[in-house]
Amino acid sequence: MKKKRVLWLINHSTLREFEVPLLIELGYEVFCPKSFPYDEGNLSASIDYKYDESLTIAKETLDKLNNVNFYEDISVEISSIINEFFGIAFFAAFPRQFKMLTKHFKGVLCLRPFGLPNGYTYAELFAEANGFYFLAQIEKLKGRFFFCQAFSDLAEIESNCFKNHAIYLPLGLKNTSISDNWNGKDKKVFFVCPRIKTSEYFNNIYKFFKLNFKEFDYVIGGAQPISVREDKNVLGFISREEYDNNMKALSVMFYHSKEERHIHYHPFEAIRNGMPLIFMGGGVLDKFGGKDLPGRCTSVKEAKRKIKRILKGDEKFIKLVRNTQEILIKPMNYQVCKTEWVRNFIQIEKACKKQSLESKKKVAVIMSGGYTGGVLDFSIRFALSIKRAIEDEKAEVELIFAHEDLPIFNCNHYFQKIKDAGIPIRTFNKENKDKEWVKKTLKLMNYPDNFNDDFVTVCNDGINYFFDCDYLLLTSDAFEQTFFSLRPYALVVHDYIQRYVPEIFPFRSNKNVMDCAKNADTVFVTSKSTMMDAVQYGGINKNKIRLIPLMIEAMQNVNNSVESEDEYKDDFFVWSTNVSPHKNHQNAMMALVEYYKNGGALKGYVTGSNTEYLDDSSNIEDGNGVPVMYIKKLQKIIKENRCLKENLVFCGNLSKSEYAKLIQTAKFLFHPGYGDNGNGSAVDAASLGTPTISSDYPAMRYMDEFAELNMTFFDPFNIESISSELKKAEKFYKEYAKKLPSFEQLKKHTTDNTYKWLYHIVKETIGF
Amino acid sequence: MKIGIFLAYNPAVILSKEGLGRYIGNLIKGFLDSKCEITIACPKWSIDMIKQLLNDFSVDEESVNFLISQKGMAVWTLYEYLILREKRKSKKYFIFKELSSILELLTEVIVSVSNIGILATLVICFAIICILLFPIVIIAELTIICFNLVKSLLHKGTFNIKQSFKDFNSIFIQFSKSGKSIIRHTFERMCKKVEQDLVKKINLQSSEDIWYVPSLFWPEVTKISLPTVINAPDLVTTEFPYKFADTGIEVDNCLRTLQDGKYFITYCEYVKEDLLISKYGKEERCCKAIPHINNDMRKFINIVPNFEVNEEQKEEYIKSFSRALLQKLPQYAKNNLEYLHGFDFSNIKFILYSSQARPNKNMLSLFKAYRYLLRERYCSVKLFITGDISQQKECMEYIQKNCLQYDIISFYNVPVQILAAMYQEAELSVNPTLYEGGFPFTFGEGMSVGTPSVMSNIPQVMEVMGEYTLDEVIFDPYDWRDIADKIEYALKQKDEVLKKELLLYKKIEKRNPELVANEYLAAFKEFRRLNQ
């Protein structure tokens, strides 16, 4: 059985002084983190090695833990260490940390909330930071999650996911004995207000105090990360000695807060030091001391009156305040708190003893949209790769595949491979719903219903909107409105081509595409350049993005070379393209004109979806869903340039075998497009022994590096650069071909080998 | 020395958000550090804005005296109430809302009654109360509806009121002496009255040794009987007449101030020679060129933890604080609100052009350079600007036509702390300006937080940069390709550029508020001597 050990993943100094010794007294070994984010909100955080002594784990294991920042994602190794050695994790309300623990920690999770400003709940905080679906993930933790509230009423206003798991572990102080050092000789008010120039919240409190209490002499304590030089009353950093002197000499402390569910430590420090405390009613202190204490005020006017009495030396009143305020600190007393902790900790211990019964995860790969080309290939390879790894690892995961219920998918066997792999297939319809529907849904789940979008798109699978799944993996973002799901989802973003070639999506709303990625739990990208665009253009936090392998597959050689020679008598190159403007046809055609003018002898075989329309004799009026005006412009160029008419052969979309045959026979592959996530034909060509000359842009550079293709590059915006590279390729294609990777080398980078990499990321993302 | 500072800005100006404002803030701090007494003459509407500026520069507002003009306040208050406050959400039909709440409460009571007799009595009582209150409610509600109607007619100009006002306005424009719209005419007159009133008050009450006027906007200052020194930053409108003709900017006041003023300070030798001496025939001894104070942005974000940290950790604190500030940027965006909703700024790379959007700022060339860098050179950085380009038609058209609205983003009126964070986190500060009053602030603002600059090769820049070998980062502002090349170079060689620019910055950095304030004091003394 696992030893009684706690991961106490908090770095608050005062809190640690109280809680860690208490946990040790309860019989636990405690690990405290030695690293925390250097951000402005963590200025009173610290690290302490002394509790390492309580641990009976090997030094090298402890050293590993001591090097981890538990506020970020953790590695698989650290994940297995904490699961092996620790049964309980305590942590504060850091959304990213909470999310990390829900995914990686299999023990009991104890959220330690200390209250939020009035009108704000933890459910709202986590839903805003991690998505609504995070609340569902918390619910799924069931008996191994506790909302360990520091004040007994924090859960009252929370959603069920917290309310139903609340236990009371009171906030305490290491030392609550009252000293009698105070003399109050310095006739000034002591007001504590840190971070005046770095926090809007405290800046407003500072302004409130200055506005209302300017008639008194005062000093303002609290850490000031940026000095408030203009106000000499703001102390900023002071030594311990100065601090003790202030506590001893200043006449009175004023505490402003009316927050019902949050309190600061400094009023208790004043009480501990015997300094009279004048405070506003309505806050947490009312719960400790009732509404009749002499130091309590209901208005600023009353507070000023009471402060005046103290500053004037009204001994009777001072004595009254001092003698009665002790009641406020009593609930913080170590022994008082310990009794409560011991009583309530039993529930946590019980949960620890229970063998965690992790249910089988159900994951859906969902392809939205009627794709029949690259996205379809990707989706199928993606699902098959995951399925293969699940089987290899005998993982407790059920995988399903879903595509939109569209006529185009009815008569073809697009999903045969999925069926063959034994993956159940669902179809779904997209539905647009309004804000009210969303709010109602959230309300039914007892989640906060702050929702901004007027409309959303949901996927109706005719069963329960994929609610039976634990996680959704979306392989496309084809939604009319912002995608909405109560289940966490990862989205594959193939590219942000609209950033570079905006004209190709003139009517596509950016919002739904952007929001679909912004709201995702994780974003998968297949190239470093798309990763960069996801950050720069998509506005997605880097930590949410994962690089997955390019899902490439090698093509087998076609063994009917005699036929090929008969079929393709001329020497030629292949131009693999479609009719989208990002394929850069205009520059490519102008470059080809130059090439032929300069004696270029190779014919150009143009293949790809709708490329038959580029033939100037084709009737474009019938073109279905193609950019008619754009194609007409290209037809005109061809018509005006005889050399193009004579040398270009427009093949349209070819069958896989015809396509392979064409590429295998070609001297080289020509790819003048740009802005997308790369052209997979380069991999097809390499596997068939044909070299590629390509536009120089980040995605193709990445593909070249990923699959070691050794391509040759040209500038797609410079006609001379394109034509001279065509000329060079005509001459040196054999040398280019020699630089290609062998079939075996190439196979290393295909899904046959990279499926494990993909699975590893999916596993980490979903947390199974 | 007792120094008066004349700041008769109109109510729309927020000094702390402008480069000149930050300059004035620094200068006041420098004067105070040099034990001068400061009196600021300003309209009442500017008090809060000036106090905010003092606050930003860590100047205790109590250490400055104010000479205030109340003139125009009545009109301004009325305008504020009728026009500006309309933007706030009005509580329409609140009585009906209240009534609904009361009814809900009553329903609660009614459903909990079990005796039919009590229920009947309650219903009768309620009916009587309703009958008695009905006329009062109706009258109150009607009054509110009428009031709202009048207000809405005034604001939105529904029915024919808007047209009638337009007609009246065009007649006014045609026949009035000013030839301006009635609102503009009133606004200008209001500001003029304040200016005159302040001068009158100064002449009656002031015992200052000298009055310092940081702008050419107020010709009345030439009537101050005490020695008065005027800052002549530039006269950019005469350099770009075509472009400024499209704007509402008028320079009559500036020209009059230039003509009638005696003592001037410029920010560079070029403007002193070219504008004051050559064009306006001012005496050389009455003109001084005092280069800018270095705007050190570091102090706004310089986080110092309570406990000991090494340099690296300190930088991490500053970085993380700055990134948290950047997260507030969407509230200052002029457009793109939908795009920026939920946008994560924690890793965004961007180049920054911090400047107001004026014709001489050469925004369009920068946008062309940026388009090329993004679309043809795959430079993934965004371009953040701080000027409001919504009024610059050609810039807006270019952005729309090229779909650059998601990558060129204008954050307008950002507070100085956020601006400091923008400089801190920018990859590069870019300044393609065609004309400036002095060496651009952007260089020092960027370098104070370790961000290098690429700049135009205009005389005002070359006067300072000329002696340093910084050709790689100086471009011809009339050639967008050159701008693009230099940006691309500096992005790739950021460390090297930073190292080179550091030599120049070390010199500029010395121009702290106290040093420059002392140069001003020396100039003031000299002008006072001449005045005697």
Read off the pLDDT of residues A614-627 as tens digits, 9 standing for 90 and up. Answer: 887 777 765 566 77
**Cβ–Cβ contact B380 with A under 8 A:** yes
- Sign of the dihedral defined by the CA atoms of residues A93, A95, A99, A100, in that order: negative
Q: What is the pLDDT of residue A567?
A: 64
> What is the DSSP secondary-structure string of A346-357?
HHHHHHHHSPP-
**Nearest-CA distance from B481 to chain A in Å?**
15
Which of chain B's residues have a Cβ under 8 Å away from the Cβ of A515? 341-342
- The phi and psi torsions of B429 (rounded to 5 degrees) equal -105, 130
Q: What is the pLDDT of residue A162?
A: 95
Hey, what's the torsion of the CAs at B426, B428, B429, B432, to 10 degrees? -140
Hey, what's the torsion of the CAs at B369, B374, B378, B383, to 10 degrees? 100
Instruction: Give the single-character DSSP code of B277.
Output: I
How do residues B189-235 score in pLDDT, each as one tens digit?
Answer: 888 888 899 999 999 988 889 999 998 889 999 999 999 999 988 77
Question: Searching chain B, which residue's CA lies closest to the CA of residue A228?
Answer: B58
Residue A507 has pLDDT above 70, yes or no: no
Residue B186 has pLDDT above 90, yes or no: no
Give the pLDDT band of residue A566 (cuts 50, 70, 90).
low
Q: Quick one: average pLDDT of A183-202?
A: 93
What does the alpha-carbon distance between residue B275 and residue B267 come to, in Å, rounded to a whole number?
A: 12
Residue B413 has pLDDT above 90, yes or no: no
Percent of chain A with pLDDT over 70: 96
Respond yes or no on whether ipTM tops 0.90: no
Residue A548 has pLDDT above 60, yes or no: yes
Percent of chain A with pLDDT over 90: 76
How do residues B326-382 score in pLDDT, each as one tens digit?
Answer: 999 999 997 788 899 999 999 999 999 999 888 889 999 999 999 999 999 999 999
Instruction: Give me the residue from A38, A500, A540 closest to B317, CB to CB.
Output: A38
Q: What is the pLDDT of residue A534?
A: 96
pTM attached to this predicted model: 0.86
What does the alpha-carbon distance between residue A608 and residue A589 come to, in Å, rounded to a whole number?
A: 16
Q: What is the pLDDT of residue B89?
A: 46
Q: Quick one: average pLDDT of A66-79?
A: 92
Residue B90 has pLDDT above 60, yes or no: no
Q: What is the pLDDT of residue B177?
A: 63
Q: Quick one: average pLDDT of A136-151?
A: 92
Which of chain A's residues have a Cβ under 8 Å away from the Cβ of B341? 452, 515
Q: What is the pLDDT of residue B94?
A: 57
How do residues B459-512 score in pLDDT, each as one tens digit?
Answer: 889 988 878 888 899 999 999 999 999 999 999 999 999 999 999 999 999 999
Lowest mean pLDDT of A339-343, A568-572, A652-656, B23-27, name the range: A568-572
How do residues A210-262 score in pLDDT, each as one tens digit?
Answer: 989 989 999 999 989 898 988 889 998 888 888 889 999 999 999 999 999 99
Q: Quick one: average pLDDT of B244-258?
A: 74
Flag if B317 and A39 touch (Cβ within 8 Å): yes
Residue A550 near residue A556 (C-beta atoms within 8 A): no
- The phi and psi torsions of B510 (rounded to 5 degrees) equal -65, -20
Best mutation target among A39, A200, A544 (most B Cβ atoms within 10 Å) is A39
Q: Quick one: average pLDDT of A331-341?
A: 93
Residues 6+ apart with CB under 8 A from A71: A33, A35, A36, A37, A94, A96, A97
Give the pLDDT band of residue B85 (cuts 50, 70, 90).
low
Q: What is the pLDDT of residue A167?
A: 96
**Cβ–Cβ contact B177 with A under 8 A:** no
- Sign of the dihedral defined by the CA atoms of residues A93, A97, A99, A104, in that order: negative
SS (H, E, C) A469-508: CCEEEECCCCCCCEECCCCCEEEEECCCHHHHCHHHCCCC
Mean pLDDT of chain A: 91
Residue B263 has pLDDT above 60, yes or no: yes
Q: Quick one: average pLDDT of A507-514?
A: 73
Which of chain B's residues have a Cβ under 8 Å away from the Cβ of A237? 304, 306
Residue B144 near residue B96 (C-beta atoms within 8 A): no
**Nearest-CA distance from A456 to chain B in Å?**
15
Count how many pairs of residues, chain A against chain B, have C-beta atoms within 8 Å: 101
Residue A208 near residue A235 (C-beta atoms within 8 A): no
Q: What is the pLDDT of residue B57?
A: 84
Q: What is the pLDDT of residue B172?
A: 59
